[in-house]
Each structure stands twice: as structure tokens, then as C-alpha cells.
Chain A
């Protein structure tokens, strides 16, 4: 099953890239809207062919990742419905406060079909696991794109897909280019670095961690670290024991951005007191001021950047790190990251 999924994904990525490159060539460079020609047919990340009749003006996103992507693509003003409890995500308040007042359409866990239909959307973007909802919406003549940004390639493919469908390919390419740029910086700076071992904790509990198949594992690798839990072949948070953590004896412990516990609770846990990371005080929590970078939001590359700065402060300097973060949010989200972090510090 996993293999089939992966195959589908690769195929769709290949197809997508082909698709989007053809549209990019013909672009003239409008501010937000390009001049893609409708009707257009795209293949989404579930491999479905979707024909979009005209440039979608009423968008619904049931997933914070796609909502954030809409903002980055500059089309947040077209969103008419958003996932439940948007106030939990700082990024909306910072970048697109008007989203907080939109009607909710539920979450990927319990999608509110009727609320969504009532909004009369042109295009609904749903995560892959809501494919049965997609079929139902299609019957009502509502276009649906299924996206699956669960790894980096998936994120890029999602960006291209959504950008193409919404006629914002140029902006999408800028976003992808930024991601590539940060990756290059990381690769260039960390090329010869000795990998340090990192234990990344889960949101609910510091004995849950991200195994090989999880997005977080890639994030650590990009930052030059070695995910100690990569030996576990799984795709979702797994529970491990104290003993296992002590066997791994990571040099760094990184707490998930949305962790419910703090650095102190890890530092003060008696059972971890003989772990190198704790002994050396190398326990950090991913920043959550703007977004949780350990989830595949458009700005997720910043998680690797931040982590590289933590792991190798002499190779990725504070300045390098925070300049890029600043640039990212200025460019794509229209606010100053440094001003919110300094405001919070004050």
C-alpha cells in the first residue's frame, strides 16, 4: 500500500512539474494572478484529474497547511471557509486576521460537509485522507484538489498544484525558489559537519518521537542532524521508553513546537538526567511564534534552518538564520518576524 502511494506521489510530482513548467513559460508576470488559460486540467496528489473551468474565486481550505499556503500565494482574500479553530494558529493573526472571522468547515478529522457546500466554493482543497469527501463534493460540481504534503517533495508538489490551479504559479515558484535557496545555504554551510544526534519529541509527550517516515526526520537531516529515531520504520509518532532514549543518548533534545510541556520539564526529569543532552543543557523547543515549523507548512524549511543554527551556531550564524526568516515572512506573509519575537521577549 505504502509503495503504491509513493509511486502515485512520484508520478503526480513528475506530471505536475511538467504541467507547471509549461505554464511558467507562458507567464508574463502579473502581481498575483497570472494569465493561465481556463478551463485547465490538473492532476492532484491523489492522481485525480480535475478540470477547472475558470479562475477560482471562492476557496475553501480544511487544513491549516493549505490555508497557510493560500496566504503565502497571496490569495487569502479569496478564502471563504477555513478549518475549525483558526485562532489556534498564530500565523492568521499576524498575516491575515480576516481569516479568523470566516465560517468553519471542520477539520480533517471531522469535515463539515454541509457547511462547506453552503459556502458555494469554486475550489476546495482537502488533505488526501478526505478523498471520500472529495468524491461527494465532485458530484455537486465543486472542484476539489486532494493534497498530501507529508514530505518535502509532497510540499513542493502541493505548492505547484495549488499555485497552478489558482493562477498564482509565479508566486508559487518564488516560494519554491526560496525553499531551494535555504536548502542550498544549509547544504553549503553544513557540507562537512559531523552529524550530531537529535531526539525530537512529540507534541503530547516527550516519550513520543518522530520515526524515519515522518516529516520531522527529514527536517533534522536537512539541518545536519541525525534523528536517533530514524532506525524505527514508521510514519507516525511512536512511543518509546526512557531506556530507549538513554540507549540513544542524543546530544540534543528538540521539543516539538506545539509541545504541551516545556524545556524545564525535560531538564528536570530525573530519568533523563544522565542523558548527554540534559547534562549539557542542549534541550530546545522549536519556536512557535509564527508557525509550527515541524509541520509541513510552506515555511517549514525555516525549521531546518533554525535547528541548524542551534546545532551548528558557528556554521549557520544567528544573523544568517534570522535574516532568512525575516525575509520569508516579509515576502510571503507581509509581517516582520523580528518584531513579534522582540515584542514577545519584551
Chain B
């Protein structure tokens, strides 16, 4: 991860020279601080957050296919971003709107799920699917009224995800939120694990099940929303990073959770390095998260399969 981070600092369109930076070339330093560094930080922090959040969703929902979208986070963020693009032109407002959309979707999901008093995990997933579908409908309607030349293009590009628009002035709050939510999730790791057992079982292990579940999911959602509101949707990281990490460690200790974050960070950082350097233009980062992630996952499965013979 560190190596990728360092590599990321030195890959990009603007030519940096070690001498130039050491000699204190003002222009190089400005670009370095303002753009390159913040983009690399977001790559690492965002990937970490997506990996850990994916782990949390998969654990709490006891569903190895769970990803931020299962409770409507991603589609909520998309609809929010589309709303922002259509109704407020400013990029900051798009970020806020995407964040709001993601958050609203989760609140809505959990509210819907709380109607069922039994509080089963499957209810949350079902509610998530409903909210996801609803958010998709809103997104579709927004796309329909969007100007195909301008707004539609923005929405499409946003949905594909990119770390391109990031600069030092726009990341502060989001990165802070990511760091805080990561700390909370690491602290709550034990609770998250207990949530992976049955409702009654968890309760008899001293857990306020509904409260803990709400707290853990909300924290993970804040992290995901902070990432996607900066970058647009980034697919696959939240799904694949936990699988890779769990295959590597074969348990769910706290180190597995951190490993999820590290795998996620590596994946996103590597994907972003490619996204910015493969072509003369900026490419959507999600293409590369899948291109790198899938073979890696296959490799891990293959290796894991052999190890168990």
C-alpha cells in the first residue's frame, strides 16, 4: 500500500522532478500539494474505507454478496448526485447532495426495516432492495429530464467514478469523516462480529442489537458516502476487498478487517494510477478496479482451493 501510495505520488500528467521538488520549485510544489498528494490520499483513504465498509456490510448482513448498494447507499448517492447536478451547478453542492442522498437512502432503509418488529437481517436487505429500486427510479427520472449534452454527461461520468476532480480544497471534511468512521468501526469490530450471529444469540451476548446494528451500519455508510460523494461510484472495491482479505486470513479477527482496508486501498490506488496514466485522457476508475480486482480474486480463490486439498 505504501509503495503504491509513493508510486501514485509520482505518476501523473504533470512532470515532477525530484530535483525540482527538492530545490523547492514553487510551481511544482503547489501542484504536488494541491493535486497529486490529495488525489493519492483520497485513493488510499477511499479504498480503505470502501474495503472496511464492505467487510462490515458482509459481516452484519451475513451475506457475502453484500456491498454498499445492498442497503441503497450507492444508488442513493447516485440519485443525490444527479439531483445536485441538475439543480445546483456547483460541484461542492453535488458532493453534499450525493452525501445526503446516500444517507437518506440508508435512513429510509433502516426505517422501513424497523416496521418489522422482529428486526431480522433479511428485512433490512429487503428494505434495502426496495430503497435501491426507488432510488434507481428517481435517478432514471432525473436522467430523463437532464440535458443530454451537459447534465446527462455529468451524471453518467459521475456514476462511472473518477478521482479526477479532487483537489486539496475539496477533500478535507470527507477525509476527516473517513478517518473518524474508520476509527469507530475498528473500535466496534467486536460488536460487528457478534452481529453476525443470530439476533437472540447476539442479544444474549450482551448486545443492544438494534442500536449496535444501526451504529455500525451508519458509520460504515458515512464512510462510503464520504468516498463516493468525492469520487462518484466506485464499483467492486467494497465487494472484492473483503473476500480477498478473508481468503488470506481465513478468520474475521480485527487484522482481517484492517487487511480489507489495505486491500481496498491498494486496489483503488492501483486502479487510479492506471486510470490517469493509460490514456491521454482520464478514464473512469471503476473500469480498472474490476480489471485488477477480478483476476486477483480468481488467483486468491485458486490458491485457497489448492491449500485446502
Contact of A244 among B13, B30, B34, B148 (CB under 8 A): B13
Contact check, B89 vs A242: say whether CB atoms are below 8 A apart. Answer: no
Q: Are A241 and B164 in contact (CB under 8 A)?
A: yes
The CA-CA distance from A247 to B168 in the complex, in Å, is 18
Q: Does B280 contact A (CB under 8 A)?
A: yes
The answer, among B31, B150, B280, for a CB contact under 8 Å with A274, is B31
Interface residues of B in 264-283 (CB under 8 A from A): 276, 280-283
Chain B residues within 8 Å of A237, by CB: 153
Q: Is A132 an interface residue (CB 8 A)?
A: no
Contacts of B150 in A (CB 8 A): 202-204, 258-260
Chain B residues within 8 Å of A247, by CB:
13-15
**Contact digits for B27-65, partner A, Cβ 8 Å, 1 yes 0 no:** 100110011100000000000000000000000000000
Residues of A with C-beta under 8 A to B157: 204-205, 208, 239
Bound CA–CA A203/B14 (angstroms): 24
Q: How far is the CA of A205 from the CA of B281 in the complex (A)?
A: 14
Nearest residue in A to B160 (C-beta to C-beta)?
A: A239
Number of A-B contacts (CB under 8 A): 95
Q: If the complex has contacts A207-B164, A240-B282, are A246 and B153 also in contact, measured as CB distance less than 8 A? A: no
- Minimal beta-carbon separation of A212 from chain B (angstroms): 10
Q: Is A234 an interface residue (CB 8 A)?
A: yes
* Min CB–CB distance B301 → chain A (angstroms): 34
**B109 CB to nearest chain A CB (Å):** 30
Identify B282's interface contact among A107, A207, A211, CB under 8 A: A207
What separation, in Å, do the CA atoms of A204 and B276 have in the docked complex? 20
Interface presence of A324 (CB below 8 A): no
A157-185: CB near B (< 8 Å → 1, else 0) gives 00000000000000000000000000000
Contacts A239-B162, A241-B164 known; A270 to B34 CB distance under 8 Å? yes
- Docked pose: A204 CA to B280 CA in angstroms: 20
Contacts of B282 in A (CB 8 A): 207, 238-241, 244
A260 engages B15 (CB within 8 Å): no
Q: Report the separation of the CA atoms of residues A107 and B12 in the bound assembly, to the nearest whole angstrom.
A: 39
Assembly CA distance A88 to B90 (angstroms) = 21
Contact A271 B281 (CB under 8 A): no
Size bin of chain A's contact surface: 20 to 34
> Is A204 within 8 A of B153, CB to CB?
yes
> Is there contact, CB below 8 Å, between A243 and B30?
no
Does B295 reach chain A (CB closer than 8 Å)? Answer: no
User: Contacts of B34 on A, CB cut-off 8 Å?
Assistant: 242, 270-271
Q: Do the beta carbons of B154 and A265 come within 8 Å of each other?
A: no
Question: A261 on the interface (CB 8 Å rule)?
Answer: yes
Q: Which residues of B contact A258 (CB under 8 A)?
A: 147, 149-150
Chain B residues touching A, range = 20 to 34
Within 8 A of B (CB), among A220-259: 231-234, 237-244, 246-247, 258-259
The CA of A107 and the CA of B276, in the complex, are separated in Å by: 34
- Given contacts A109-B148, A204-B154, A207-B282, A241 and B167 within 8 Å (CB-CB): no
Question: How many angstroms from the CA of A247 to the CA of B12 in the assembled complex?
Answer: 10
A258 and B13 alpha carbons, distance in the complex (Å): 28
Of A237, A238, A244, most buried by chain B (CB within 10 Å of CB) is: A244
B211 CB–A CB distance under 8 Å:
no
Closest partner residue, chain A, to B14 (CB atom): A243
How long is the Cα–Cα vector from A339 to B298 in the complex, in angstroms?
67
Specify which chain A residues have a CB less than 8 angstroms from the CB of B307 in the assembled complex: none
The 27 sampled A-B contact pairs (Cβ below 8 Å) are A204-B149, A204-B150, A204-B151, A204-B153, A204-B154, A205-B165, A207-B165, A231-B280, A238-B280, A239-B164, A239-B282, A240-B281, A241-B276, A243-B14, A243-B36, A247-B15, A258-B147, A258-B149, A259-B150, A260-B89, A260-B150, A260-B151, A270-B167, A270-B168, A271-B35, A271-B167, A274-B27
* Pairs A-B, 10 closest by C-beta atoms: A203-B150, A204-B154, A238-B281, A243-B14, A271-B167, A244-B13, A243-B13, A239-B282, A260-B89, A204-B150
Known: A211-B281, A242-B167; 16 extra A-B contacts, CB below 8 A, are A109-B148, A204-B157, A205-B154, A207-B282, A239-B164, A240-B13, A242-B34, A242-B165, A244-B14, A244-B282, A246-B31, A260-B89, A270-B34, A270-B168, A271-B167, A271-B168
